[in-house]
Structures are given as structure tokens and as C-alpha cells.
Amino acid sequence: MYSFIFKSYIFNSHLLLVSEESQILLRILNGSFQTLDVIKERIFHDLFCSKANLDVIDMRQDNAVQKVNRDEQGSKDWSSKGNESNQEGDSTVGFNVLDAMLKRSLDRLKSMRERISSAEAGISNCTLEINFNKDAYVVRAMCLDGKLGAALSLWWDMIQNSIVPDVITHNYLINGLCKNGELEKAEWIVRGMLYRGPSPTCAAYNSLIRGYCLMNDVDKALNTFSTMANHGIIPNRVTCNILVHALCKKGLLEQAKNLFYKLLSKNHVRGSSDLITSTIMMDGCFKNGDTDQALAFWERMLKERIQVDKVSYNVVVHGFCLSHDVGTAYKYSCEMLKLGFIPDVYSYNTLVGALCRQGKTSDACYIYDVMTRMGVIPDQITYKMIIHGLCINKEIDRATCFLDYMLENSIIPEPLVWNVIIDGYGRCGDIQKASYIRGKMVAFGVLPNIYTYNALIYAKIKSGNFSAAQSLGKEMLLYGLTPDSVTYNLLIGAACNLGLLHSALQLHDELLRKGCHPDVITYTELLKLFCLQGMMREADKLFGKLLASGLAVDHVPFLILMKRYCRMREYNKVYDLYQQWLMTMPR
């Protein structure tokens, strides 16, 4: 019998009780248990030594009492085991007294259960249930693994079998769904919890709030925030951190600050949580361009003797990089180092990124060397920034070296990285190397995308091979890629420059048929062509279409037409165009 009692005692935090009456009863039972503290520990120990006790215990309906009777057998072993090392007599007396107490309680429980059952007939046959089941752990693991469909169906199976998982398992599910953007399902689970239990906790609501923030729906997040209050759940620091972060990201610094101070006034405990909120605020200020405000938060942290950490230093370093003050950023990096914080991949990437953006690729490569020597492993982001920076600086061969480092370290770059190098070689007119990289990309299992093809088409055109460019345009269709306006603009532009009127018009026609939208570049290229060919009627017509299209028109089409009409000495036309051009300018 005691084995049953103590199993339920240990798991009583997982007990699901729908009715108030049964909760009262549980409290009575718990009261009895408290007198058993002496032997509790030993039985607790036994419980954890015996795997068999981890099975589901079914306490439903009449089973409850039967179960107790069945377990009575086993309890003898338990108590005798216990007696080996403890005062023999005391325990036995204790058991006898408690036997009586508990039996009385259980009889009352039985009658209460019957009344509850008849009252809730059909609604709930899982009123009293121990929510301990190894399936719950499978649900958790599936959630962490991102297998939410499977997790949901297993959870549903459990519910159907009247086994209600504990609140933490529910939180795993809710959190997984929220991270996946499946907010409706998460909300549905929370509603179910409100109805059948276990009651949702702060963590569940925090997951929902974060989920809405990730969907960029701060209003919904704030709604959930008040729903939570309506259910009597007090938000904690995590709640506030999520909301402060979201408000900062939206640029609502004032609202974020208000929430920040509200949080501080409510809670006087200083510690790591305050550090996180302050770091979020500081980061928000830096990103919204308010360096002074950010530094004010930094100073406040130092004044309040909040122990700053690596992350807050990284935020400051990044903040100065954002305000184009790499010198000061570097100073803070050194300060951080002096204080004994070991820079991590974030610290180095921040500096590498800032240096690349300034075109200081040699310095960026130097930082790369330092980080590898310090044993910090460069990641995708490090390589991406360096390769991009080098390609912008036309140091394509050096960029290719970094691509090789990546491959040597079994990091397969995303298409963007390959595309940047292919584009770099193409722009330098090195079609061989561009094609070689594309071949390597395919060999590593990375599929070329529309950017790859546009870069290759550009390369072909640049090297004067229009027909090769055209066949690339056909080839991409085989891979299921649809040419976009950039592709057509490249090809139309090339055709125009070669004076291939027919090809250009054909391509333009194809563009329209494919449902692509011609942009200013398309119009400008064709306009140039018509002017070169002296087809002024078509040129005027096209120009009218461009102005009517609602596209933002720059000066180039005006200049092309005006130049042409100048040469034709049609100065009235030139003047008209000039007036029209003035009209398009912002006053």
C-alpha cells in the first residue's frame, strides 16, 4: 500500500485534479504523508532504485482502491528493507496508524470520486490521473528534434487514453510550435490546458509571446501578455526580456524603456537577469542609432555594479562598429580581453564584418588569423563576410582561398558564397574561373540558383559571347529556374549593344509572356536601341509607356532621348523633355 501512496506522493506535483473536491482530498492525503518523513527518504531511495516503479500508475475510478490492495503485497518488502537500518518498532507503529488514516481517506476519496464522476459523466473520465509516462519524454525529444507533427499526434494519443502529460511536456510542445510559427496550434493547446489541465505556466505564455514577436506581431504578443495577467499569471523577467527585445527591434525605444523601468521597479533583485535586460536595451539603442542612450545604459550597469559579461561587451563592440567607429570598438575589445573575457566567434565576427565593410580586407584577414590561432573556429558567417569583402575589392583569388579553407573544414557554403565568387570572376572577365567555381559548386551538391545563372550570363556577355549567354538562359529552365527581370535585362542589354533589334524585341516579348515585369532598366535598354536605330516613333511610344507605368524613373532615359533629339536638332522636343524631367524631380 505504501508503495502506491509514496509513488503518488512523489509524483503529486504531476497529479491532475479537475475538481476542487479532489484537490481538497489530495491535500488531506498530503497532510498524512508529512508525518511519514522518517521513512519517506528510504522509500524514495527504493523508488529510484527500482525501475519497475516508473510505470504508469492508473488511479482511475475503482481501480484506485484495487490498485492499493494489489500494492499492499509489495509494501511488506519495502518496510522490511527499511527496517534493516532504522528504528524497527517506530516504523511499524507508524505504518499501523497511517494505515487507518489512509484507508479512511481513500474510502472518502472513493465516494467523492463517484459523486464527481456522476456529475461530470461523459466529460471527464481522467479526472484523477498520474501524469507520468515515458511517452512524455518521447514527446519532449520530438519537440527538441523539430518533429512537431509526430510529437503532436503522440500527445493527442496520450490525451485520448486519458493520460495527460505534465506541464513541462506541454511547454516543450508549445515552445516547439511557437518556434515553428504554428501559433494557432500552440494557442489551441493552451486552451486545452485551461480546460482539462495542467494549468499553463508563465513559460507557456512566454513561448507564445516570443512566437508572436518572431512573427513580427508585437500587438498579438502584447495581447497575450494581458491574457496572461487575466489568468492570474504574473509575468517574470523572461517575459519582460522578450517584450523589451521585440519593442527595440520595432524601433519603439520609448515603450521598451518604459517596460524596462517598470521591470526594475517591480523587482529589486540584482543579478544576471538585470544584466540581460540591460544588454537588450543597450543593443536596441545602438541599433536604432542612439549611441549616447546605449552608453547611458552601459554606465548605469557599471554604476549599479552589475557584473557585465562577454555578451554585453560584444554588444558594445558591435555598437561602435555600427556607428563606424571601429577604433573605439577595438578599444573595448582590448578592455574585454584585459578583464579576462575570452573573445568568442561573435567577438571576432563583429570585427571582421566591420573591417570588411570598410574595405580593410587585409585587416579582416589578420583578425581571421588571430582567431584561428586563438582556437576560435571561424563559422559560416566569418567566411561569408571575408569572401564577400574580398570579392567587392576584386581580390577574387584570395576569396577562393577562403572558399577552399571552408571546404577543407567540411563547411559547405550556401549558394550565396559561391555566387559572390562566380560574380566576382565574371566581373573581372575571367569566364574560365567563373565556370570552374560553378562546376565545383555542383560537385559539392550545392544547386545553382537564379543568382548563379545571372552571374554566369553576365560573365558570358562581358566576354562578348552573347550566344553562350542565351543558351545559359535556356539551360536554367531545365533546372526549374525561371529567368527574372535581371536575366532579361542582361540579355536585352547585350542584344541592344550588339544592335540585334530582332533578338532584343523577341526577348522583351518573352519577358512579358513569362509574366515578368519590365523595370526601368528594361525600358532604358530598349529606348537606347530604338534611338540607335532611329526608330523615334517607337522610342516615343515606349517612353510614354514608361512614364505611365508608375515606375520610379531616373535621369538616364531622359538623357538618352534628349541627346538623340539634340542631334536631330529637334530642340522643341528637347525642351519638352527637359520640362517633363523637371516635373519628375522631388521639389
Partner DNA sequence: CTAGGGTTAG
Euclidean distance between CA atoms 138 and 470, whole angstroms: 54
Select from 101, 168, 264, 501 the one that contacts DNA (CB under 7 A): 168
435 binding DNA? (CB under 7 A): no
| Span from 69-77, 97-105, 169-177, 216-224 in contact with DNA (CB under 7 A) | 169-177
Grid cell locating 449: 540558383
Q: How far apart are the first and last CA of the chain?
A: 89
| Span from 68-76, 107-115, 187-195, 413-421 in contact with DNA (CB under 7 A) | 413-421
Grid cell locating 1: 500500500
* Per-position b or e across 32-43, b if 16+ CB within 10 A of its CB: bbeebeebbebb
Euclidean distance between CA atoms 497 and 250, whole angstroms: 46
Do the Cβ atoms of 330 and 339 come closer than 8 Å?
Answer: no
| Span from 75-83, 222-230, 306-314, 534-542 in contact with DNA (CB under 7 A) | 306-314
Nearest to DNA of 79, 312 (CB atom):
312
- CB 353, min distance to DNA, A: 4
Closest CA to 396 of 414, 378, 422, 416: 422
7 binding DNA? (CB under 7 A): no
- CB 121, min distance to DNA, A: 32
Euclidean distance between CA atoms 55 and 38, whole angstroms: 25
Using CB under 7 A as the binding rule, the residues of this chain from 274 to 293 that contact DNA are 275-277, 279-280, 283, 287
237 binding DNA? (CB under 7 A): yes
Select from 350, 361, 503, 524 the one that contacts DNA (CB under 7 A): 350
Place of cell 528493507: 81
9 binding DNA? (CB under 7 A): no
Nearest to DNA of 28, 392 (CB atom):
392
510 binding DNA? (CB under 7 A): no
- CB 114, min distance to DNA, A: 31
Do the Cβ atoms of 415 and 438 come closer than 8 Å?
Answer: no
Do the Cβ atoms of 473 and 444 come closer than 8 Å?
Answer: no
Select from 74, 94, 192, 415 the one that contacts DNA (CB under 7 A): 415
- CB 75, min distance to DNA, A: 27
Euclidean distance between CA atoms 481 and 96, whole angstroms: 80
402 binding DNA? (CB under 7 A): no
- CB 111, min distance to DNA, A: 32
Q: How many CB atoms lie within 10 A of CB 94?
A: 16
131 binding DNA? (CB under 7 A): no
| Span from 39-47, 150-158, 412-420, 554-562 in contact with DNA (CB under 7 A) | 412-420
- CB 313, min distance to DNA, A: 8
Asked whether the bond before 198 is cis by omega within 30 degrees of 0, the reply is yes
Nearest to DNA of 357, 398 (CB atom):
357
| Span from 78-86, 219-227, 340-348, 564-572 in contact with DNA (CB under 7 A) | 340-348
The crossing angle, in degrees rounded to 10, of helices 450-462 and 415-427 is 10
Nearest to DNA of 203, 560 (CB atom):
203
Do the Cβ atoms of 419 and 455 come closer than 8 Å?
Answer: yes
Select from 72, 344, 395, 570 the one that contacts DNA (CB under 7 A): 344
524 binding DNA? (CB under 7 A): no
257 binding DNA? (CB under 7 A): no
Select from 66, 125, 272, 362 the one that contacts DNA (CB under 7 A): 272
Amino acid at 171: N
The three-state (H, E, C) secondary structure of 525-564, written as one string: HHHHHHHHCCCHHHHHHHHHHHHHCCCCCCHHHHHHHHHH
Euclidean distance between CA atoms 485 and 487, whole angstroms: 5
**H-helix or E-strand containing 130?**
strand 128-130
Grid cell locating 256: 521598451
Grid cell locating 503: 533578338
Select from 36, 315, 491, 492 the one that contacts DNA (CB under 7 A): 315
Q: What ranges in 87-217 are assigned the alpha helix state H?
A: 88-119, 134-144, 148-160, 167-179, 183-196, 202-214
- CB 231, min distance to DNA, A: 15
The crossing angle, in degrees rounded to 10, of helices 536-548 and 555-567 is 160
Select from 193, 385, 391, 399 the one that contacts DNA (CB under 7 A): 385
Binding mask 37-66 for DNA (x = CB under 7 A): ------------------------------
Nearest to DNA of 164, 504 (CB atom):
164
Select from 39, 154, 190, 203 the one that contacts DNA (CB under 7 A): 203
Euclidean distance between CA atoms 246 and 224, whole angstroms: 14
Nearest to DNA of 461, 577 (CB atom):
461
Give the three-class secondary structure for 129: strand
Nearest to DNA of 242, 256 (CB atom):
242
Nearest to DNA of 162, 201 (CB atom):
201
Select from 311, 498, 520, 547 the one that contacts DNA (CB under 7 A): 311
Do the Cβ atoms of 127 and 196 come closer than 8 Å?
Answer: no
- CB 41, min distance to DNA, A: 20
- CB 527, min distance to DNA, A: 24
Determine what percent of the chain falls in helix, strand and coil, rounding each to the nearest 5.
Answer: 75, 0, 25
Using CB under 7 A as the binding rule, the residues of this chain from 437 to 456 that contact DNA are 449, 451
Select from 18, 148, 238, 329 the one that contacts DNA (CB under 7 A): 238
Q: Number of residues in contact with DNA, rule: CB under 7 A?
A: 56
400 binding DNA? (CB under 7 A): no
Closest CA to 423 of 396, 441, 404, 386: 396
- CB 536, min distance to DNA, A: 34
Distances (CA, A) of 319 to 139, 310, 323, 339: 41, 14, 7, 19
Select from 182, 290, 309, 484 the one that contacts DNA (CB under 7 A): 309
Do the Cβ atoms of 495 and 461 come closer than 8 Å?
Answer: no
Amino acid at 86: N
Site for DNA, rule CB under 7 A: 13, 166-168, 171-172, 175, 201-204, 206-207, 210, 236-239, 241-242, 245, 272-273, 275-277, 279-280, 283, 287, 309-312, 314-315, 318, 344-347, 349-350, 353, 356-357, 379, 381, 384-385, 388, 415-416, 419, 449, 451
